Amino acid sequence: MGYQGWFACAGDSSPLNNWKHWFGNNTPDASNLVIDMWPDMGEVPANEAFATRMNYSDSRAATLYSAYNPSTVIRHFKWMQDNRLDGVMLQRFTSELRDPPYKAFRDQLVRNVRAGAEACGRVFCVMYDISNSNEATLVEDLKNDWAYLVDTLRITESSLYLRHRGKPLLAIWGLGFTNRPGTPAQAMEIITHFKSGAPAKYQATLLGGVPSNWRTLDGWSKTDAAWAGVYKSFDVVSPWSVGCYADDREADDFKKSRIAADLKQLSPLKVDYMPVVFPGFSWKNLENGPLNQIPRRGGRFWWRQLYNAVSAGSTMIYCAMFDEVNEGTAMFKLAADKQDLPTQAQDRLVYLNIDGEILPSDWYLGIADQGARMLRGDINVTPSLPIKPERR
């Protein structure tokens, strides 16, 4: 799964000391929400919980967590361990690397994720997201920061840092998207540097988070023909599919037109393939979209995608995402029922039972366990969700 980890709170002792990615305007009330799902805070002790200006129906203050706290992140990794998730790709935003408070927060997050992985026997790796980056400094920023992570934070020395094809895995998300920086020449410079041009200690197996239209150079992809060669130069291609379909029929069409066709093209090139699957989508509070825009249907929508990826021949899957409550794709422990939400925000948030099931807060972690078993061949490949939600 992907791991954002970008959540900060006022009073969390971080360099940001601000409500980041929970609320806008540093104002923790319902009208400033920028999330569409609420985390289950039941296991979070008082010293890790930060009060908002909202409350639950029993008058308790509604609280949230900061990923700056190592104990909070380690708890997330314990949830992964409990549900046999392999681990996460930690998002690291290149646009923040020249801003000292943001960089310091992100550096601490790297330390926290490493601590969680090592405490719980999970793997981790870094995924750079180039959104909003300065194109003029993009190549330099990536080279310099990876050297910092290797030399100063020494993350690749961890036995739990994910390796593939004999090298540490490094993911770069966003090259080739129409609304992201980078030219084909810059992209090839980045790929060449990390695959073979840099000193050996900085070389990595390179995963590209690319547009779903990477093969056809349309839609989300830039159209310059040079991008075709860029995409196929990655060691692993991982096309972004969040929002590309909204029901089983559309997901099945995507399997045929994208996943199967992508695998057919990449297999002779010896390029690995990691499709992206997502449980549902909602972007009301951040982007004023419909609440519960792509319903989860108790996990059946997500399972259909897992089945499609495995039955098409995929040997690895990226799940978007562990903690992404802003876009409503989160899969960690979440508020299950409407009464579990802050009273002031009950009509502004998606809860797990919104589609009519009765689900526990860790329901999607349980489905992830089943999906991993199907991927590994421990259970049969089946289009039907192996665990059933209770109906109301």
Domain residue spans of the chain: 2-391
Q: What are phi and psi of 37, to 5 degrees?
A: -140, 155
Q: Which pLDDT score is estimated for 388?
A: 86
ω into 274 cis (within 30 of 0) = no
User: CA-CA distance, 342 to 327, in Å (whole number)?
Assistant: 19
What are the residue ranges of helices labelled H in the chain? 70-82, 100-120, 138-151, 184-192, 226-231, 248-254, 260-266, 284-287, 300-311, 363-376
Q: Which pLDDT score is estimated for 392?
A: 47
Three-state DSSP at 278 gives coil
Contacts 24+ apart (CB under 8 A), 12-18: 12/50, 12/66, 12/68, 12/69, 13/68, 14/66, 14/68, 14/104, 14/105, 14/108, 15/100, 15/101, 15/102, 15/104, 15/105, 16/68, 16/101, 16/102, 16/105
Contact indicator for 98, 136 with CB cutoff of 8 Å: no
User: CA-CA distance, 7 to 37, in Å (whole number)?
Assistant: 13
- Domain spanning 2-391 has what CATH number? 3.20.20.80
User: Helix, strand, coil shares of the chain as percentages rounded to 5?
Assistant: 40, 20, 45
One pLDDT digit (tens) per residue for the chain, 392 residues = 999 999 999 999 999 999 999 999 999 999 999 999 999 999 999 999 999 999 999 999 999 999 999 999 999 999 999 999 999 999 999 999 999 999 999 999 999 999 999 999 999 999 999 999 999 999 999 999 999 999 999 999 999 999 999 999 999 999 999 999 999 999 999 999 999 999 999 999 999 999 999 999 999 999 999 999 999 999 999 999 999 999 999 999 999 999 999 999 999 999 999 999 999 999 999 999 999 999 999 999 999 999 999 999 999 999 999 999 999 999 999 999 999 999 999 999 999 999 999 999 999 999 999 999 999 999 999 999 999 876 54
Q: Which pLDDT score is estimated for 123?
A: 98
